Structure 1
Amino acid sequence: MGEDVLSTPGHLISLAARGFARLSEMRLKPLGFGVGQLPVLVALGDRKASTQRDLARFARVEQPPMAQMLARMERDGLIERTRDPADGRSSHIVLTKAAREAMPAAIAALFQGNSEALAGFTEAEADQLVDLLKRLIDKLDRIAGAEASAVD
């Protein structure tokens, strides 16, 4: 049957991603956060985005799932929305005081999980893994972009 499909980079990366997600979810849940919310929390915390459209682009998700996530985050007291006076259809989104105060503990929990997962790797190996994954993600984005352009 050729190469073992369960040993392909795609499958192994998927298993690793699910493992990291499970670990992160277990550690973030007691702090009131979900792992899927991380890109939004980071973007708002670093002021890299403040609208639903910008957050969706930053998090690399479509608008409908972002709208659902933001509604849950608002319900859970993590974000606040204020209408944009210049554009009534748009709102500015900010982290609540409670979310801002809980962020350092959440970030520390995530770094701790990564540190534990990479225990036994040298610093050079960990750096190389990160570099390889970034390159792979960039390549996959380019391939998907080219295929999407060909379909349009």
Structure 2
Amino acid sequence: MSSLPTCIFCKIIKGEIPCFKLFETDTVLAYLDIQPLSKGHALIIPKYHGARLHNIPDEYLSDVLPITKKIAKAVGVDNDDPEGKGIGYNFLQNNGRIAHQEVDHVHFHVIPKRVQTEGLGVGWPAETTDFDKLKKLHEELLKAIGN
């Protein structure tokens, strides 16, 4: 584990600060958020210190989605609900202050949502599609990715 001595999440991983642990593997720790947006709000953190997602080695990310799924099921989001009125959830991960990241250690939130006024509120300021710009961006990103 790579760590930073002043990082609160690294201290939680090391056991220097207690947490309400939900699940743990060799590479990931999941626990309840102490300032929850809703009942069951949990954090999932890699046991490798890195400020942004691209700083984390892949092997420290491989358990993130399976653990998220376990936690989502535990808070009741897996209930069969054909009308879609049951529990939903947001899976949130921010990178950088401009994207609302508060702690400089990669972390993922599972935020249950039972009613409209609970949990995370999200705005989506979508723009009108300019297909010429989108095609140019697509080509640039393929080149940057290496395709």
Structure showing the higher helix proportion among its residues: 1
TM-score by length of 2: 0.30
Higher relative contact order (CA 8 A, sep 6+): 2
